Amino acid sequence: MKKLLVLLLVAGLLVISVACSSDKDDVSAAENSSYNINGQVIAETNDIDLSKIKVKISGNEIEDSTSELDEEDMWSATGLKGEVTVTPVDDSNQYTFIPSKVVLTSNSEEISFTVTERVQIEPISGVSDDFIRGMDVSALKAIEESGGKYYENGEEKDLLEILKGRGVNYIRLRLWNDPSGKGGGETDLETVKELAKRAKDLEMKVFLDFHYSDFWADPGKQNKPAAWEELSFEELKQAIYDFTYNSLNELNTAGALPDMVQIGNEVNNGMLWPDGMLWPYLDEFPDYTEDVIGGWSGFGALLQEGLDAIDQIEAETGEEIKSVIHKADAGEGVDWFIKDLEEKAGVIGFDVVGISYYPYWEKHGGLRDNYTGWTNLLQEMTALANRGYEVAVVETSYGFTLEGADDEPNHLDQERLDTIAALDDGRYLPTPSIQGQADLVREVMEVVNEVPDNKGLGIFYWGGELIPSEGATWKAGEEYGNGYENQALFDFKGNALPSLDVFNKVIDN
């Protein structure tokens, strides 16, 4: 008999990792092979009380048995036949395990459990059942196609079914014009249709994010789709209207009409540069000078085409679709931006202001008045509500660890935390952990719920699906990875984290 023992300690979490085999190598459980399972649990801190942990063994042809740890923290079970299920047990109900069980289908599979304190999540007073508890799952199809799998309680499941059961009631999907071969999930219209229909079939709502680009669009880049690069301004306006209208019409025909639609992604400096650019970035784009960029009037005209297309689909279908304008950097004048959009661009026909909030980026600021910077999320959202708009955090995330599992450096690492800590500006920045991840999400939801007149719609978690996978690689042809796997709501093997429970547990009932 051969035995391999792997011991890991990640971000303060105890990881039990056991590989087991029998004397009859390469014989499947279906052929009733015997098992000799041995494991050791080692706690390097006082956080985990190993005396409370046992291992339950069950199978098709055996009676259930429980193996206690011996004086050397070892457990073992021998002479088993058939399919074997190994389940860690904590009678004190103090700890939780990821995954909560493993089904052994051959005699040479590795078994690993993460032992951690149970996540504590207090309900938020006054949160309604329809408060948006959403998640962006744009890379899901690409992850599935590259072999990525998601698990709940040790069982492989559809990601959307897991999310639905954990309280997620809305999904967000980005739409690129022609992303073929570019990576990042390659979320074209066909991909969006499939994922949106799957969500609708589970009675979840859908939020569609038009980037109006073939690839990523954000404050630092707003590149036109290749097919639109040579269009005149009037032709560009028509292209926006047509692409928006036709996409929504196809989704409606497929039974997947979105409930909410944003026109442009993080449009801090406009979109579809240079025609819709607000201010020149001469260092990065020296050709986009003051006399070339469209400014507020150009940006406003392009936005309006997308909003008009939404209005037309609403009129034809009789369905309400909330329209969204999306800005990043909650700590840098979102209300001021919307005021200029109204007064300088003449754009007023939208319903919701969406904000990106990542607390580990300088410009995103703090949550409440204890933040000593320019402005905070609650202050900005309250001002927007007073202006008559509904508001939502349409992107937020946080780490369950600082460890990584791919070749791409993590966006959230110790250096980033140290940089923010040095600002000493009072922002909320919990320790990256499963509990810290849940705490951050809860705090953001609580702030949104405090917006007056019920104008705070809810939040969307970004990157929760980004487990290590070829399908989740940031850009085709680059290093394997995306820099977000430590902020997913699933561990590196695809097991649902206890922090995912925050979406259910914030509800009073």
SS3 12: coil
DSSP class of 368? S
Q: What residues act catalytically? A: 266, 395
Look at residue 507 and give its three-state secondary structure: coil
| Residue whose C-alpha is closest to residue 305's, from 266, 354, 249, 264 | 264
Please state, as a whole number, how many other Cβ atoms lie within 10 Å of the Cβ of residue 38.
16
Structural contact between residues 444 and 367, judged by C-beta atoms closer than 8 angstroms = yes
Give the closest residue to 501 by CA, choosing from 448, 446, 439.
439
Long-range pairs of 4-9 with CB within 8 A, sequence gap ≥ 24:
4/110, 5/39, 5/40, 6/110, 6/112, 7/40, 7/42, 9/44
* CA–CA–CA angle 250, 253, 254 (5° rounding): 90
The DSSP output letter for 366 is: B
DSSP 8-state code for residue 223:
P
CA 423 to chain centre: 27
Residue 257 · residue 317 · CB < 8 Å: yes
Q: Is there a cis peptide before residue 219, judged by omega within 30 degrees of 0?
A: no
Distance CA 74, CA 58 (A): 18
Q: How many residues does the chain have?
A: 509
Taking CA atoms, 156 is separated from 61, 101, 153, 455, 493, in Å, by 23, 12, 8, 38, 11
Residue (of 313, 312, 338, 336) closest to 324 by Cα position: 338
CA distance 89 to 101: 9
- Tell me the two tokens of residue 235: 């032709």
Tell me the backbone φ, ψ of residue 274, rounded to 5 degrees: -90, -5
Cα–Cα distances (Å) from 289 to 41, 62, 282, in that order, read 63, 76, 7
d(CA 278, CA 270): 5
Query: What residues contact residue 95 under an 8 Å CB cut-off, 6+ apart?
Result: 48, 52, 53, 115, 116, 117, 118
